[in-house]
Chain A
C-alpha cells in the first residue's frame, strides 16, 4: 500500500522567504505526482503535475522536483507572499488515476 508523508506538517515564514515543502512515498511505481493547494474549507487547486518520466516542473514561482528512485518530491515556492498561505497537498497517482494523498503542509506567510 502506498504511504505518502509530508514534512513538515506546518510552516510559518516571513514574507519574501523561499518555501521548501517535502513529500515522500513508499512505492516508487508511480504514474504521476501532483501538488495541490487547499484553502480552508475549499476544494483542491492543482499546482503542478509531474509525470513519472520527468524530473521537475515549473510554473511561475513554483518548482517541483521528483526523484522516483528515492521516493521523494519537493515543492519550492520562491519569494513567498501572504497569499501563499494555505495547505499544500502532495498526491501520488497510479496508472488507474487513483490518488494517495499526504496529510499536507499548512503554510503561513507572515506579512
Chain B
C-alpha cells in the first residue's frame, strides 16, 4: 500500500498558541486528503475534506476558522489549530487518497495536548 506520513506524532502547546500538523503522501499524489479527530474511547470523526488547490470542505459543527486546512500540493496537506484551548486536546489523524487506489491511506496520527 501507499505511505502517508504525519508530523509531529506528539505536540504539547500552551493555550492561545497555534499548532500546525503536516500530512504527506510519500509515494503517490493525493488528490484528496481527509482530517479526522478521535476523542478518548470514541470513534474517529471526520473533520474536513481537502482537495488540492481548493478550499477545504468542513463537516457540520467543525469551526473552519479554528481548524485551518491547506492543501497546497498533491503531496502535502496541513491542519493548523489556531488559538488552541485545552478542549482541543485530542488525537488527530489524516488520510490520503487518489483515483489510483480503492482505499485511503492513513498517517500515524498526532497527539495534541494543550496546557
Contact = CB atoms under 8 A, between A and B. Distances in A.
A83 interface: no
A42 B107 CA distance: 10
B43 A49 contact: no
B67 to A, nearest CB: 17
Interface residues of B, number: 25
A31 B109 CA distance: 24
B108 A99 contact: no
B102 A32 contact: yes
B95 interface: yes
Contacts, number: 58
Contacts of B95: 97, 99
Interface in B80-115: 91, 93, 95, 97, 102-109, 111
Interface of B: 1, 6, 32, 34, 36, 41-46, 49, 91, 93, 95, 97, 102-109, 111
Interface of A: 4, 31-32, 34, 36, 41-44, 46, 49, 51, 89, 91, 93, 96-104
